[in-house]
Structures are given as structure tokens and as C-alpha cells.
Amino acid sequence: MTDLRFAWLEITGKCQLSCTHCYADSGPGGDEGVLSTQDWLRVIGELAGLGARSVQFIGGEPTLHPDLPELVDRALAAGFEVEVFSNLVHVGPRLWDCFSRPGVRLATSYYSDTAAQHEAVTRRRGSHARTRANIAEAVGRGIPLRAGVIDVRGPGRQRTQAAKAELSKLGVTTVGVDRVRGIGRGANASPASDQLCGRCGQGAVAISSSGEVWPCVFARHIPLGSILDADLATILSRNTAPPVAVGPSCWPQGGGSCAPNDPPRP
């Protein structure tokens, strides 16, 4: 792989929510993973050495990792643009301080302007109010924030446009709409390459809390290696050919990159 620009860092498989479509199949009983904080600090250093310019901390729910602020600090010190993709169900003072640092962005998912529809997706009572309140808090603090409205129920069955309108009223200026991907709990069968856009591994890489390396967070069935066995440069050098053929587009509506709710392009 050449011209590495971006990396997803899936630092935990645990989440407070059990969203019906979760591509990572995470939840309260999710795996915390085997990588230590020192392992993640090493990975961030290796990414910087390979020329990557931006990272996104994901999960599971990345705010459940006790050392997320330390990992963000390391990424900022290495010159990365940083985004944390969070459900924003719970953000304590320490994390608000972390998210307020220059160079850090937030991203979140939102499903409806009504608690009933939102929580039918998250399967956690109270999650709509908590996420909504923390979106407003982030906006009030001036933290860059984008939101993705995922159409889980299908056209006309979910209040996606009302959700977009509510987010706009809350002050969120970047809102996208995406469809459910056939990966994880969103799949009706085993994952297949027809769910991918064919651009996996082109300038991007994903690393899981188990140490597995994938060409994309949606290409979890295409392992490239493990950072527990080799450094990232070695793993990527062994995988120079495109991992999948160009297939149907899985890009979010309105364009963007093939990723959960369109992560930032470096």
C-alpha cells in the first residue's frame, strides 16, 4: 500500500448501545480487545512514520477506553488531524477537555427527531435525550461536529429529514444521510465484497482492538495481518494488490468516502 493518508483506530469493541445495524457488532458485552495503551501509542507513531495525516478513533464506543485522551494527545503531537466518532451518550469533564483541543473533531450518528424511533435503533432508553444534549453541548463549546443520519428502516419509514432539520436547529452544519451496510448486525448473510466500493485500502487502513489490520472498517472479512505479529509497514508492504475488485458503490448519498458516515478526507 502506498500513499497512506488515513486510519481508523477501533480502540474497543464495547459500547453502551446495541444498535440494530452496527457494522462492528459491538455492544455492552463487546470485547475490550487485547491491545494495550502502549500498543496503540506505537501504532500511532508507526502511522505517522508512514505519512498518514488523519486518524479517526472509533469502536464500539471510543469514549469507553480509559486512555482515549492520552491517545488523542499522542495523535495531535504527531501532527494528525483527529476525529472521535462517538455516540455521545456520556461525555465527562475530562473528555470535554480532550475534545476541546485544537485539531480535534467529533462525529456522531442520529436516527430521528423522536426518542421512540431513535431508541428503537439504539435499543437503549434515554439515549436520544443524552445524545441530543451532548450534541448541543459540543456545538456550544465550539467543537467541530458532524452528524450522520442512517436510514435504518428504509425510505419513508424513518424521520430522517426531520432528524436533519433538528440537527440543523441545534447548530450542526455538516449532516449526511447514509444507508445501512450489509456488515455486522446490518447483514442478512455473511459479509461479501458486493457491500464494498472497491476502493478499500487506497490510502486508508483500519486497525482493530484485537490487532487485526483491514483495508477498511467495512472489509472486516479481509484480514491483512496483525500488528501483534509485525509492524504496520511490514503488513502493508505484503498487501500491495487491491484487496477487492471495483464493485457497487457503497458511498454515502451525496458523495464522500466509503466509511462510517463519511470520515474526513485528509
Q: All 3 cell numbers of residue 130?
A: 443524552
For residue 22, being part of any structural domain is answered with: yes
For residues 81 and 201, state if they share a domain.
yes
With contact defined as beta carbons under 8 Å apart, do 27 and 17 qualify? yes
Q: Residue by residue, what is the 3-state secondary structure of 42-86?
A: HHHHHHHHCCCCEEEEECCCHHHCCCHHHHHHHHHHCCCEEEEEC
Whether residues 169 and 200 share a domain: the answer is no
Does a structural domain hold residue 100? no
- Do residue 130 and residue 246 come from a single domain? no
Q: Which domain holds residue 118?
A: 108-180
**What gap in Å lies between CA 106 and CA 91, rounded to an integer?**
12
Residue from 76, 36, 83, 27 nearest 57 by CA: 83
Residues 47 and 61 placed together within one structural domain of the fold: yes
Domain assignment present for 93: no
Provide the CATH number for the domain around residue 3. Answer: 3.20.20.70
Same domain, 176 and 219: no
Q: What is the pLDDT of residues 62-90, one digit of tens each?
A: 999 999 999 999 999 999 999 999 999 99
* Last residue in a domain, options 180, 200, 219: 180
Give the least confident one: 89-93, 130-134, 210-214, 249-253: 249-253
CA–CA separation, 48 and 244 (whole Å): 26
Give the pLDDT score at 240: 58
Total count of domains within the chain: 2
Average pLDDT over residues 23-35: 86
pLDDT digits (tens, 9 = 90+) for 93-108: 999 999 999 999 999 9
Q: What is the pLDDT of residue 186?
A: 44
Q: What is the pLDDT of residue 189?
A: 42
Please tell me the pTM assigned to this model: 0.86
Q: Is residue 103 in a domain? A: no
